[in-house]
Structure 1
Amino acid sequence: MNKFDVQATKALLEKNLITENQYQEISSYRNLNIFSLNAELKLFLYLSVLLFTSGIGVLIYNNIDSIGHIAILSLLLIVIAVCFYFCFKNTKGFQKSETIFENPVLEYLVLAANILTCIFIGYLQFQYKPFGTHYGLATLIPTIVSFFCAYYFDNKSVLTIAITGLAAYVGLSVTPQDLLNNSNFYEDQTLSYSAIALSVLLILWTIYSSKNQLKTHFNILYLTFALHIISIATISSLIDYEDIIWFVFAIILGASSCFFYKISHEYKAISLYVFMIIYAYIGINIFIFRVLQFIDFFSDVWIVLFIVALPIYFIGFIILFIKLIKNFNKEITA
């Protein structure tokens, strides 16, 4: 038992929060030096799911001609059915609050079933095209299944797949013809509007969930996706757009930074806070550069001064960044 644990336990005893017998029992238990392998075992379970689903993909790829499409799809369907059978058999059913399986292995069984479902639908669409040229449906259906599984089985990993699928569906629904014409789909600037709209939708859903107490522990995941999507979209637009419309995206980035600054304190989420600072810093730099470019600042003399001041600027930001993180940690632990 380390010094901190001894002091903490003694403090509880001195405040009469525990009895002398309880103090002795706690001390005896801690002296056994028992430690938990829960995190390590869950990591291995997660890796096993990834390896299993990856193995299924490799099996399909290497034996697609010898095994046959129907046989592969049938095998996938059987495995999916078995996984979902055990999941539904052992679940407590849908609840608004956070729920967990009695056996943590079942959480990863849900993840495996969901990934295999995505593989099944994707393979079915690729080989037999049941949705025709409506490629968005091949993305939307696994997304709906993932959202259902995430909320019914209370699984954050599956929710991550669902949000990713929703983002993919939004991207495909903007200009699906670009994929068919082999054009550069990712250079379509309208995707920025879709990304911002998706981020706003995710934020609104967290507000709705909080008001109705619907799986509120999922909110941090929605907010993380929203932060990254809206920040990357606005920063990309700050760089790509040449006319004055880039200023609108600067305002959006500033507003989102203020929102996530507030929400990171509300949820005491240092990950949101750190990435908010990084994205805001990148956005400020691009904004300053665009303004200086607009007023034709970059003459020879000013460029020299800019290069000289650049190291001081970066060092100042690093110091400010460290100070902000320290202050944030003090606030959330106070």
Structure 2
Amino acid sequence: MSSFEEKSTLKLFEKNFITENQFNQIKEYRGLGIFSLHAELKLALYLSVLLFTSGVGILIYNNIDTIGHVAILSLLVITIAVCFYFSFKNSNGFSRAETQFENPVLDYVVLGANILTCTFIGYLQFQYNAFGTLYGLATLIPTIICFFSAYYFDNKSVLSIAITGLAAYIGLTVTPRALLSEEFYATEGLSFSAIALGIALIAWTIYSKRTILKTHFSLIFFTFALHLIGLVSITNLVHFNSAIWLLFLIILGVACFYFYKISYEIKSISLYVFTIIYAYIGLNLVIAQLFTIIDFDDIWELLIVLLPFYFVTSIVIFIKLIKKFNKLKN
């Protein structure tokens, strides 16, 4: 056993949480040097699905004139049908509680089926204009299918795709390119749409909790909501614009306070860390705006000297907050 594991096990024995026989069994088991490959195998399966679906896309792009549109669409339909057939055949059916396939590989079959479904519908619209000028349907239909699959097969990866599709349906593309090009700031309507979607995700999570509907999906919904509200608010705070700037500052403050409480409630370290980061960025943007309003010429050199201490103190406080959270969570 490693030093940490040995001390932890010994502490449990000293506090009479385990018997001497159990202590010896634990020590003997850990001495075998057995380790789990569960996480590595799941990662390999996930990468396999991504590589397969990416390969399908590249194959279509490079051989579209050779293979033909009908042949490509037929191949996609057959593959999707086979994936969904095995998924439904081995599924335990819909349940409001958490369910799992007996064979975890089927989770990735469901994921592959939904990614290929999105590819199929997108290709159908691009090549044949199947939905005419109703371009939103090309996004909405695969989004609905992904939401159905996520809840029926209890698949978190597919749920993430569904929420992303929903965001795309209302015109959001939360990507580094979108942030760098200041799309949220350029369109106030887009900013408020993003915040409205974030609030809607929170409301759905609260409803799901009260009705006991897939409550283990809460972290995914909260994570998307936090990033939507946080990124939009910060993007708009970068630009000083009187009442609108103040409005987004209030939204960010309320959101950070809410998610701070929620992170403790659901014991999510990732939600807690991102909440602190967004709050810290918002605080620094407020300080930056104060520098533009108030004249600090007389003490400018002193502020430059204090700046490194400010960042070091921030890091120390951040580490203490994380330790406090882990202590309370455990």
TM-score by length of 1: 0.89
The Cα shift of 1:318 comes to 1.1
RMSD: 2.4
Number of residues of Structure 1 aligned to a counterpart in Structure 2:
322
The partner residue of 1:319 within 304, 316, 319 is: 316
CA shift in 2, pair 1:22/1:85, >3 Å:
same
| Partners of 2:25 and 2:280 in 1: CA distance | 51
Once the two structures are superposed, what CA deviation does each residue of 1:133-189 show, in whole Å capped at 9, x if it has no partner?
A: 22111111111111000010001100110111111111269xxxxxxxxx9965322
Counterpart contact for 1:136–1:172, Cα < 8 Å = no
1:310 and 2:307 are equivalent in the alignment: yes
Task: Give the CA deviation at 1:316.
Answer: 1.6
Aligned: 1:192 with 2:191? yes
Equivalent runs, 1:35-54 vs 2, <5 Å? 35-54=35-54
Report if the CA contact (8 A) 1:9-1:23 is conserved.
yes
Question: In 2 relative to 1, CA 23–270 (structure 1 residues): closer, same or farther, beyond 3 Å?
Answer: closer
What displacement does 1:308 show?
2.7
CA contact (8 A) 1:49 1:108 kept: yes
Residue 10 and residue 324 in structure 1: after superposition, are their counterparts in 2 closer, same or farther (change >3 A)? closer
Distance of 1:162 and 1:258 partners within structure 2: 27
Aligned twin of 1:287:
286
Q: Which amino acid aligns with 1:74?
A: S
Q: Contact 2:182–2:235 at 8 Å: present in 1 too? A: no
Contact 1:238 1:286 in 2 (8 A): yes
Contact 1:234 1:253 in 2 (8 A): yes
The answer for the alignment partner of 1:230 in structure 2 is: 229
**TM-score between the two structures when normalised by the length of structure 2:** 0.90
Label 1:3 to 1:289 Cα distance change in 2 as closer, same or farther (>3 A): closer
CA apart distance, 1:303: 3.7
CA, structure 1 residues 281+16, in 2 after alignment: closer, same or farther (shift >3 Å)? closer
Answer whether contact 2:208 2:214 (CA < 8 A) is retained.
yes
Where do 5+ consecutive residues of structure 1 fail to align?
A: 174-182
Per-residue CA deviations over 1:62-103 (Å, capped at 9, x if unaligned) read: 000111111100000000000000000000000111111111
Letter in 2 for 1:111: L
Deviates more, 1:28-37 or 1:200-209: 28-37
Give me the whole-angstrom Cα distance separating, in 1, the residues matched to 2:285 and 2:2.
49
Q: Which residue in the other structure is 2:95 paired with?
A: 95
The one-letter code sitting in structure 2 at the alignment partner of 1:194 is: S
Deviation at 1:239, TM superposition (A): 2.1
For 1:6 and 1:283, the matched residues in 2 are separated by: 43
Report how far residue 275 of structure 1 moved: 0.7
Q: Deviations over 1:182-240 (max 9, x none)?
A: x9965322111001101100111111111111111100011011111100111111123
Which runs of no fewer than 5 residues in structure 2 stay unpaired? 174-180
Equivalence map 1:1-334=2 (5 Å): 1-2=1-2, 26-171=26-171, 187-240=186-239, 242-293=241-292, 295=293, 297-298=294-295, 300-333=297-330
Shift in Å, 1:31: 3.5
Structure 1 distance, partners of 2:6, 2:272, is 33
Kept after mapping to 2: 8 A contact 1:140/1:166: yes
